[in-house]
């Protein structure tokens, strides 16, 4: 149940020395929240973004929590008609069919803010304070991502405009690449997952829903 992707040699060590934040709307205005609404939902058998999750749809829940952290929120999807009801900008992939990396590229190409916070639409337990905390680590880096041993959480991460050219270089090759494949070309700050327990229940935050069994399990954690 992980979006985590393996990565090569470790990058710079984490330096989580910026105080915890909450409600810092001035800083949050430099970041656009991006919800990736892609994938075929093949293992779910239905469009998981629109599945009921408690009293709301899964996507609505994710969007609401991203909005708690960042005043600007956009969706990335090639099916804008299904999501226009939210009243948010819906950005299409410039390089369709290339997975989440294409969605990150589309978002970076569309926004005016120096950073984006990217999250997948199937992560119902987003913690807004943790999202904003990660964003506060971004100055001086191109990527801020949580690391758990050899795995990263690239779909709950911060990306700066300096990522745009390296990502586009990969996508131009016509291959479906992992999100982490461009990391060697940029400045990455790795935040160790174990350091985040004071901010949130990280096991819940990084839970994602791919199958009916995942959905059933996630609903058990719904408060």
Helices (H), the chain: 25-28, 58-69, 100-110, 128-136, 164-171, 202-205, 212-220
Let me know: does 143 contact 188? Beta carbons within 8 Å.
yes
Beta bridge partners of 189: 144
Pick from 81, 1, 83, 67: which is nearest to 34 by CA? 67
48 is in an annotated binding site: yes
What pairs with residue 157 in β-bridges?
Answer: 118
User: What residues does 119 pair with on adjacent strands?
Assistant: 35, 156
With contact defined as beta carbons under 8 Å apart, do 39 and 124 qualify?
A: no
Q: Residue ranges of the alpha helices (H) in 155-211?
A: 164-171, 202-205
Is 148 assigned to a binding site? no
User: Nearest to residue 156, comparing CAs of 184, 187, 132, 181?
Assistant: 132
Matching residue, tokens 């990150």: 104
What DSSP state is assigned to residue 19?
P
Q: Is 122 assigned a ligand-binding role in the annotation?
A: yes
The answer to whether 99 is annotated as binding is: no
Binding-site positions read: 36-38, 48, 93, 122
Q: What residues form the annotated binding site for GTP?
A: 36-38, 48, 93, 122
Q: Binding site for Mg(2+), residues?
A: 122
């Amino acid at each position: 149940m992980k979006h985590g992707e393996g990565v090569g040699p470790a990058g710079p060590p984490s330096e989580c020395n910026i105080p915890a934040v909450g409600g810092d709307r001035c800083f949050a205005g430099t970041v656009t929240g991006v919800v990736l609404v892609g994938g075929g939902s093949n293992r779910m058998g239905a469009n998981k973004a629109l599945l009921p999750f408690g009293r709301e749809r899964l996507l609505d829940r994710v969007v609401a929590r991203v909005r708690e952290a960042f005043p600007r929120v956009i969706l990335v999807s090639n099916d804008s008609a299904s999501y226009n009801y939210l009243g948010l900008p819906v950005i299409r992939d410039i390089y369709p069919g290339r997975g989440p990396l294409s969605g990150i590229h589309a978002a970076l190409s569309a926004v005016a803010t120096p950073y984006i916070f990217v999250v997948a639409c199937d992560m119902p337990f987003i913690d807004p304070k943790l999202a904003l905390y990660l964003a506060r680590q971004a100055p001086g880096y191109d990527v801020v991502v949580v690391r758990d041993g050899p795995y990263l959480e690239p779909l709950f991460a911060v990306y700066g405009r300096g990522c745009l050219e390296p990502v586009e270089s990969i996508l131009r090759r016509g291959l479906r690449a992992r999100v982490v494949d461009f990391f060697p070309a940029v400045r990455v700050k790795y935040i160790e997952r174990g350091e985040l327990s004071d901010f949130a229940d990280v096991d819940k935050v990084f839970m994602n829903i791919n199958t009916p069994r995942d959905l059933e399990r996630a609903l058990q954690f719904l408060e």
